[in-house]
Amino acid sequence: MAHITLVLPYALPLPEFAPDLVRALDAPALAALLSRGASVRQAAPAHPGAQPHEAWLARTLGVSDGRPAFADAAMRGLQLDPNGGAWHLVTPGHIQVARSHLMMADPRQLHLNDDDSRALFDSARQLCEELGHAVVYGSADTWFLRADGWTAVDIASPDTVVGMDLTDFMPKHLDARPLRRLQNEVQMAWHAHPANAAREARRLPAVNAFWIWGAGGDEVPMPALTTYAAPGWLAALGQRQLPSLDGLDGLFEHDGLLVAGNLAEAAIAADWGAWLQQMQHLESALFAPLLAAVKDGRVRALRLVLSSREDLLESSTTPLAQRKFWRRPTLDALT
């Protein structure tokens, strides 16, 4: 019998919308999983530069004490060797001008394919190498840059800065000057890049941001981690990437951790209609099969980790707990 942990970033709606969304959500399986067991809710992220689920993953996977230091582990997951250097994650992005500040759009909305990414990467690599920094291509949305002298630079994860005033997150001390210079030079090189011109012709956002974060990380064995709809850096940490949630029975045979990231884009955009659709998909494709597996004993213990930008909910249930029929299933834990 397996012990399963399911991590659901952005499954907790913002408090001002939660009551209405819970009333609109038809998820009896999730309600049973949340109501028949034990739950703990924690406010505020453990690290100011990470989302609550990112800090939880960092601690659980052993890559850091909550700081989003995923670069080395992600490199190894992509069969790349850090070779003792100080590597940073690089996320291509899109910075836009708001009324009074700059902010970065959700990288998921770039829909960056491999051809565009490699063309932009090759342009950035030339600039980086001229300044003494090696860069390595991992996947369309995940690159790596070596900067051994930037160990004091600690930059927030992309999901932390999305939609926020970037001024609040850019490092301002002297050690960060080379980083800001590199970011500016890459952005200027990309301004008139043919790949961006082609993207704009296809009505896609230009890739004009070179976001560097997630430096370092401890060397750990690759976990029994499965991902679905996750960013490239997160998918690289695991052993399996699911193209869909069809046929999950094999996952319930062994202990493991599953991260389902399909709620993130809708929640970050506050598109609660799309969020409800994604939650309904999880209800039928994931929550109902998990509930059945718990009830019939194939899953001995199930832990749910749900998050928002502001807090984290951990809930656990077992076959015995699911027999407590007097506990009325409710989604109140989401509010």
Share the mean pLDDT of the chain.
Answer: 93
The predicted pLDDT at position 134 comes to 96
Summarised one tens digit per residue, pLDDT across range 234-286 is 999 998 999 999 988 788 889 999 999 999 999 999 999 999 999 999 999 99
Calculate mean pLDDT across residues 39-63.
Answer: 87
The predicted pLDDT at position 245 comes to 95
Percent of the chain clearing pLDDT 90 (strictly above): 78
CA 260/CA 245 separation, integer angstroms: 9
Summarised one tens digit per residue, pLDDT across range 220-230 is 666 689 999 99
The predicted pLDDT at position 46 comes to 64
Is the model's pLDDT at 296 over the cut of 90?
yes
Q: Between these two residues, 22 and 167, which has the higher pLDDT value?
A: 22
Is the model's pLDDT at 111 over the cut of 80?
yes
Domain 71-213 CATH class label = alpha beta
Summarised one tens digit per residue, pLDDT across range 142-189 is 999 999 888 777 789 999 999 999 988 887 776 778 888 999 999 999
The predicted pLDDT at position 151 comes to 72
The predicted pLDDT at position 48 comes to 82
Is the model's pLDDT at 306 over the cut of 90?
yes
**Domain positions in the chain:** 2-61+221-334, 71-213
Is the model's pLDDT at 29 over the cut of 70?
yes
**pTM of the full structure:** 0.95
Per-residue pLDDT band at 45 (split at 50, 70, 90): low
CA 113/CA 90 separation, integer angstroms: 16
End-to-end, the C-alpha distance of the chain in Å comes to: 32
Angstrom CA distances, 219 to 183, 191, 193, 322, 332, stand at 28, 37, 37, 38, 39
Instruction: Output the CATH code of domain 2-61+221-334.
Output: 3.40.720.10
